[in-house]
A = this chain, B = another copy of it.
Amino acid sequence: MRSLNSSLKKVVQGSLAVIASSALLVGCGQEEKQETKAASQPDKVYKLKLAETWGPNFPVFGDATKNMAAMAEKMSNGRLVITIDSSNKHKAPLGIFDMVKSGQYDLGHSGSYYWKGKVPNTLYFTSMPFGMTPAEQYAWFYHGGGMELMDQVYSPHNLLSFPGGNTDIQMGGWFQKEINSVEDLQGLKMRIPGFAGEILAELGAKPTNIAPGELYTSLERRTIDALEWVGPSLDLRMGFHKIAPYYYTGWHEPGSELQFLVNKRVYEGLPEDLQEILRVAMRTAAYDMYTQATHESGKNWVSMKSEYPDVQVKDFPPAVMSALKEANDRLLAKHAEKDELAKTIQQSQADYLQQVRSWTDISHRAYLNSQAQ
């Protein structure tokens, strides 16, 4: 997934000044009509403001917020109006957590792992290396205790967090040279942010951060040896397939779920019907984004291959995968040592993965392998 820092550099031209925009709970001036069986306060229009990390008209991610707001407004017959400020407006893509916590914004759309520097346990609710696929992770969120654990992490901050859309499995990245052994990672200059970058650093690679606008040139001129972005859904327009021969399959974000943040007091101030409209609109928009990501990835990958048929898809060799997994486990163990809740979340994810993967292996893996023969 694009790092927050990347998004930041991409979309923010100027300062990080936060444009404060208060939560608005505005009655539209008509009298209350308590006697009706209908909407609890049918004369009241609730205007909520959402801040998203992404720039305006950012594909797929930005479609999720528009889809959510449109459903909410239509289902409420105009009583729940959500306006969306992209990063060009609020100038604080890194500030979504704080702005929704404080009530400057009522809602946010971002990625939970962006807040790991501030609240370390937010790391676990986007996607974990060697972790669950999108369907597996939705099952964990909604049936395996994931929502409850996420609530334990966000509740102390006056925030509600909900799944906000899945990018599908992210690719391992674009490489100028093949990776045939763990040694090939030594000194590898790769743009890969966040926790995955920490894992690679454990194996001697040199994770770097480069502004998105400079990535293409950096990879072309071999200032960096490799980079990861998302997958075909968003990689196509970056053009990396034109300049890098190897596209590695994924390991570090096997089902990245974005996040809707809601200010808890604002949510509790909504009538129950609008709470449910908001909850369902967010839930549907999240699932819908996964469907859209699946579609865009297929379409764009076909397009890349037809334009650049020499692009080679590569799997990291098993020895490299094992080394990455061991480094991942070491880093996670350090987190768990320091924090009881981190340990609980890790255990929940590990247990659930073991259970659900036993099914995925005899269903999806078996079926896809049989069809590829």
With A30-B35, A276-B74, A301-B358 in contact, is A294–B79 under 8 Å at CB?
no
Instruction: Tell me the smallest distance from the CB of A235 to a CB of chain B, in Å.
Output: 12
- Report if A33 contacts B (CB, 8 A): yes
Instruction: Tell me the smallest distance from the CB of A76 to a CB of chain B, in Å.
Output: 7
Q: Which residues of A contact B (CB under 8 A)?
A: 28, 30, 33, 35-45, 71, 74-79, 130, 133-136, 138-139, 142-144, 168-169, 171, 231-232, 247, 249-251, 254, 271-273, 276-277, 280-281, 283-284, 287-288, 290-292, 294-295, 297-299, 301-302, 305, 313, 315-316, 318, 321, 355-373
Identical chains in the assembly:
2
Determine whether the beta carbon of B280 is less than 8 Å from that of A139. Answer: no
Determine whether the beta carbon of A251 is less than 8 Å from that of B370. Answer: yes
With A36-B33, A75-B276, A294-B136 in contact, is A249–B362 under 8 Å at CB?
yes
What residues of chain B lie closer than 8 Å to A359, measured between beta carbons?
Answer: 232, 294, 297-298, 301
22 contacts between A and B (CB under 8 A): A30-B35, A38-B39, A38-B43, A38-B77, A39-B77, A75-B276, A75-B277, A76-B273, A133-B368, A135-B168, A139-B294, A142-B295, A294-B356, A294-B359, A298-B358, A301-B358, A301-B359, A313-B362, A321-B370, A321-B373, A364-B368, A365-B369
What residues of chain B lie closer than 8 Å to A38, measured between beta carbons?
Answer: 38-39, 41-44, 77, 79
Give the complex CA separation of A301 and B247 in angstroms: 35
What residues of chain B lie closer than 8 Å to A313, measured between beta carbons?
Answer: 362, 366
Determine whether the beta carbon of A37 is less than 8 Å from that of B45. Answer: yes
Instruction: Tell me the smallest distance from the CB of A34 to a CB of chain B, in Å.
Output: 12
Closest 9 CB pairs of A and B: A38-B42, A298-B356, A77-B273, A249-B366, A143-B295, A169-B363, A139-B295, A287-B287, A365-B368
Instruction: Tell me the smallest distance from the CB of A171 to a CB of chain B, in Å.
Output: 7
Determine whether the beta carbon of B45 is less than 8 Å from that of A363. Answer: no
Select which of B43, B280, B360, B363 is within 8 A of A281 by beta carbon.
B280
Determine whether the beta carbon of A318 is less than 8 Å from that of B373. Answer: yes
Chain B residue with minimal CB distance to A76? B273
Instruction: Tell me the smallest distance from the CB of A17 to a CB of chain B, in Å.
Output: 35
What residues of chain B lie closer than 8 Å to A365, measured between beta carbons?
Answer: 365, 368-369, 372
Give the complex CA separation of A170 and B77 in angstroms: 40
Determine whether the beta carbon of B358 is less than 8 Å from that of A142. Answer: no
With A37-B30, A38-B39, A75-B277 in contact, is A367–B284 under 8 Å at CB?
no
Known: A30-B35, A71-B280, A295-B356. 12 other contacts (CB 8 A): A37-B45, A37-B79, A38-B39, A74-B273, A75-B273, A133-B368, A135-B291, A139-B298, A143-B291, A284-B287, A301-B358, A305-B358
